[in-house]
Structure 1
Amino acid sequence: MSERIETRQLWADGPAVGAIGLSCMGMTWAYGTDPGADDPGAVIGRAVTLGMTLIDTSDVYGPFTNEELVGKALVGRRNEVTLATKGGLAAQFTPDGNPDASRMPRPNGTPEHLERAIDGSLRRLAVDHIDLYYLHRPDPQVPVADSIGTLAEAVQAGKIRAIGVSEFSVEQLDEAAAVHPISVVQSELSLWTREHLETTLPWCVRNGAGFVAFSPLGRGFLTGAFREAAFAADDFRASLPRFQQENLQANLAIVDAVEAIAARYDATAAQVALAWVLAQGENVVPIPGTRRISRLEENAAAAALRLSADDLAELDALPAPAGTRY
C-alpha cells in the first residue's frame, strides 16, 4: 500500500481526514490486557504517518488516562490530526476514590459537568483547542438544548471547533441541530449493527454531517479471531449478549461469509468488514481500535479495497446477529 491512505471530507466545510481513523479507547479501557500490544504512543504515531488522522478518545476512557496518552503521543504532530474527544459520561468511583471499572459510566449532560469536562480534556490533551467535541451520550435528565448550548458556548470561546454527538436518535439530532450545527454523529455501525443505515445516516446526509462508525469490526468479532466465548474477567465483551457461547456460535455464520468474500480479494475479514462500512457513504469514516501496529496497518489497507456490487449485495443480505448489543 502507499504510505498514506486516501482522505474524505467528513462534514461540510470540515477538514479532510483519513478514510479510516483510530479509536484509542481499547488502549486503556474495556478490553483487558493484551500481552502482544505495542507501545500506545507508537501505535498512534504510526496511524498518523499512515494518514489515519481522525484520532478518537474520551475523558471517560481510563477514566482520564486515555486522553493523557493521546496528548503525549501527539506532541509535535498536533497539526497533522483532527483530534476528537468526548464528554457527558461520568465515571463511577469506589468509596476510596478509585475508578470502579465494574460499573458503567452514567450520563451527565449538565452544563456544569460539561464545562468542567471540556477544560479537563484540554488540560490532559495539552492542547489549546479540540477539533471535534462530542456529547458522549444524551442525558435523559437534561434537555438536549441545555447540553448542546454549553458546547456552543465552548465553540464561541474557541475551546472547541466543531460539535458532535454520539448515539443520538433522529429526534434528538433535530433538537441538537436547532441549537447549533452538528458536524458529526458517532454511532455503532458494522456488518452486525446496521440499524443506523435507515435512520441516522440519512439524517447526516441531509444535514451535511459526517458519520463516524465505532466498533466497525464488531468489537473484534468480524475479524474471525473469536470462535469460542473465552474472555478475561476484565474484558467487557464477556458480559455482552452477542459474545455468549450460544449466540457466538450462531454469529459465526456472519464471519464465515465475510471470510469467503475476503478470499476472493486476497484480503482479510477485517479489511472486508471495513470496506463494507466505507461503502455506505462518502461521509462515513470507521474508527477501528487496535493496540498492535500490525493490525493498524492491516486496517489502513482496507481503505484501498473496493468491493464489487455483487459482493456488497451479498454482505447486505447477511442475517441479523443473535443477541442484542448490550
Structure 2
Amino acid sequence: MSETSTDVGHDTGQHEIGLTPVKPTASELLIVTGMSGAGRSTAANALEDHGWYVVENLPPQLLSTLSELVQHASERIPKLAVVMDVRSKALFADIREALAQLSASGTEYRVLFLDASDDVLIRRFEQGRRPHPLQGGGRISDGIAAERALLTELRDHATLVLDTSDFNVHGLATAITELFSEKGPVTLRLNVMSFGFKYGLPADANYVADVRFLPNPHWVPQLRPHTGLDPDVRDYVLVANGAQEFVERYVHALEPVLAGYRRENKHYATIAVGCTGGKHRSVAVAEELSKRLAQQPRVTVTTSHRDLGRE
C-alpha cells in the first residue's frame, strides 16, 4: 500500500461534540468487502484487534446461517465481521439474495466497501508479485475492470465506502480503529475534506462543494506562499463577500441530510470542498465548515486536506 495517508480518516484536526456511541442490543454484523488489493486483510486484522469476531472468505450463501448462529450467542460474540471477496464469481453472484435474506429476517447489518484507484491497485499487485484473482490469462487491469463491474451494485448500496488509495497499512488500521472502536462507532462521523479540482474529484465524496466563486489568495503576492490554515489567508477567504453566507446556508442544508443518515443507520459521510489547487480557499472553508458541523448533535467531525502541499 502507498506510503502516505492523506485521504479519508487522516485527521489534521478533530472536533467532538456530544458523542453518543451506539450500544447495540444484539450482535453487530459488519460485512467487509471491496476491491482486491484495497486492504480487506488489513481491515480484518484491525477489527480483530478491537474485539470483533472475524470470519474471512465466507460464501454469501452461508451469511444468513452464520448470522443466526451469532444472534443466539450475542453475549459471547457481540460483534461479527464477515469478509467476502470475489475469488469465486459464481458464489459472489448470490450476494444480493443473501443480503435480501438478512433484511427479510430483520437482521441489521452494515456494509464496509474498501476501494482504491486502478493505478494504486495495479501498483500493489505488482509490488506483491501476485495476479489479480479475476485476471485469468489477461492483465491485472483486466481483472480489476471485471471486478469493478461485478461489485458496482454492492458499492452503490454500501453503508460506508472507504477509499484507501492514499493509505499505508498503518493509516488504514488507524481509520478502521476510529470508525469501529471498542465502544462501537459514533452515531455519525463526518470527514470534511479540502481538495483541488485540477487534481480530480475525491472518489469517495458524498457531497462536493465548489468554492471557486471566492477571491483567490493565489493572486495576492503576500498570501500566495501560505495556505488556508494560516490566519491571514483564512481571514482573507472568510471575510470575502458571500463566504459566511455560503457556510451558514450549506450547514443548514445539510441538517436534514444528517438527520436522515442517523435514521437510516448510516455512520460515515465525506463532504468535499474544492477550489482550484486545494491550497487556499477550500482549506479555509473546510476548516470553518468542520467547526460549524461539529456543533450538530451526535456528530464527530474530522478534517483532512487531500492536496495541501502539492505544487
Q: Which one has the bigger strand percentage?
A: 2
Report the TM-score range of the alignment, normalised by the length of the smaller protein: 0.3 to 0.5
Higher RCO (C-alpha under 8 Å, 6+ residues apart): 2
Q: Which is higher, the Rg of structure 1 or of structure 2?
A: 2
